[in-house]
Amino acid sequence: MAEYKAPLQDIRFVMNEVFEAEKLWGSLAGTQDVIDMETADAILEEAGKITASLIAPLSREADEEGCHFDNGKVTVPAGFVDAYKTFAEGGWSGLTGNPVYEGMGMPKMLGAQYEEMLYSADISFGLYVCLTSGAALAIDAHASEELKQKYLPKMYSGEWTGAMDLTEPHSGTDLGMIRTKAEPNADGSYSITGTKIFITGGENDLTDNIIHLVLAKLPDAPAGSKGISLFLVPRNSVDDNGVVGENNNVTCGSIEHKMGIKASGTCVMNFDGAQGWLVGEVNKGLLAMFTMMNYERLSVGIQGFAAAERSYQNAREYALDRIQGRAATGPVNTEKQADPIIVHADVRRMLLTMKAYTEGSRAFSTYVASYLDIAKFSDDADQIKHANAMIALLTPIAKAYMTDRALDSCVAGQQVFGGHGFIREWGQEQLVRDTRITQIYEGTNGVQAMDLMGRKVVANGGKLYELFASEVKEFIAAESDNPALASKLDQLSAALDRLTEATEYVIGATQGDADAIGAAAVEYLDLFGLTAYGYMWARMVAKAAPKVEEDVFYANKLKTANFFFSRLLPGTLSLLEAIKSGSEDTMALEAENF
- CATH number of the domain encompassing residue 226: 2.40.110.20
Check residue 106 and give its pLDDT.
97
Q: Of 241, 258, 282, which residue constitutes the final position of a domain?
A: 282
Q: Residue 170: its pLDDT value, please?
A: 83
Question: Are 35 and 134 found together in one domain?
Answer: yes
Range of the domain at 114: 8-156
**Distance, CA of 242 to chain centre:** 32
Contact assessment for residue 138 and residue 151, using Cβ atoms and an 8 Å cutoff = no
CB neighbours of 88 closer than 8 A, spacing ≥ 6? Answer: 157, 158, 159
Q: Which of 123, 156, 189 is the last residue of a domain?
A: 156
CB proximity list for 164: less than 8 A, separation 6 or greater: 131, 134, 135, 199, 200, 212, 213, 289, 292, 296
What's the confidence (pLDDT) of residue 2? 81
Residue type, 537: W
Residues 14 and 110 in one domain: yes
Q: Are residues 452 and 564 in the same domain?
A: yes
Which pLDDT belongs to residue 172? 63
Please say which residue of 240, 262, 282 terminates a domain.
282
Which residues of the chain register pLDDT less than 70? 1, 172, 174, 176
Looking at residue 90, its pLDDT comes to 94
In angstroms, how far is CA 548 from the centroid of its own chain? Answer: 31
User: Is residue 289 assigned to a domain?
Assistant: no
Q: Is the residue at 402 inside a domain?
A: no
Mapped onto helix, strand or coil, the DSSP state of residue 87 is: helix
Q: How far apart are CA 579 and CA 558, in angstroms?
A: 31
Residue 90 lies inside a defined structural domain of this protein:
yes
3-state SS, residue 110: helix
Would you give the end-to-end CA distance of the chain in angstroms?
42
In the chain, the percentage of residues whose pLDDT exceeds 90 is 96
512-533 pLDDT tens trace: 999 999 999 999 999 999 999 9
- pTM comes to 0.97
- CA-closest candidate to residue 104, choices 31, 28, 6, 24: 31
pLDDT at 175: 72
Q: Does residue 425 carry a catalytic annotation?
A: no
Q: Please check whether residue 278 lies inside any domain of the structure.
A: yes
* 454 shares its domain with 542: yes
Q: How far apart are CA 136 and CA 130, in angstroms?
A: 10
Q: Are strands 68-70 and 73-75 parallel, antiparallel or unpaired?
A: antiparallel
pLDDT per residue as tens digits for the range 331-347: 999 999 999 999 999 99
- Do both 79 and 151 map to the same domain? yes
Residue 517 inside a domain? The answer is: yes
Across 216-250, b (16+ Cβ under 10 Å) vs e yields: bbbeebeeeeebbbbbbbbbbbbeeeeebeeebbb
Together in a domain, 502 and 582: yes
Q: Write down the catalytic residue from 203, 309, 442, 523.
A: 442
Q: What is the pLDDT of residues 354-376, one digit of tens each?
A: 999 999 999 999 999 999 999 99
| 197 shares a domain with 143 | no
- Do 35 and 90 have their domain in common? yes
Residue 479 CA to chain centroid, in angstroms?
30
132 and 173 together in one domain: no
Question: For the residues of 552-588, what is the DSSP string, one character each?
Answer: HHHHHHHHHHHHIIIIITTHHHHHHHHHHT-SHHHH-
Do residues 76 and 202 both lie within one domain?
no
Quick one: 91 exposed, middle or buried, by C-beta within 10 A (0-12, 13-18, 19+)?
middle
418 occurs within a structural domain: no
565 located within any domain: yes
Tell me if 386 is assigned to some domain: no
Examine the domain organization and report whether 188 and 150 are in the same domain: no
Of the candidates 172, 190, 170, 194, the one whose C-alpha atom is nearest the C-alpha of residue 182 is 190
- Residues 149 and 166 placed together within one structural domain of the fold: no
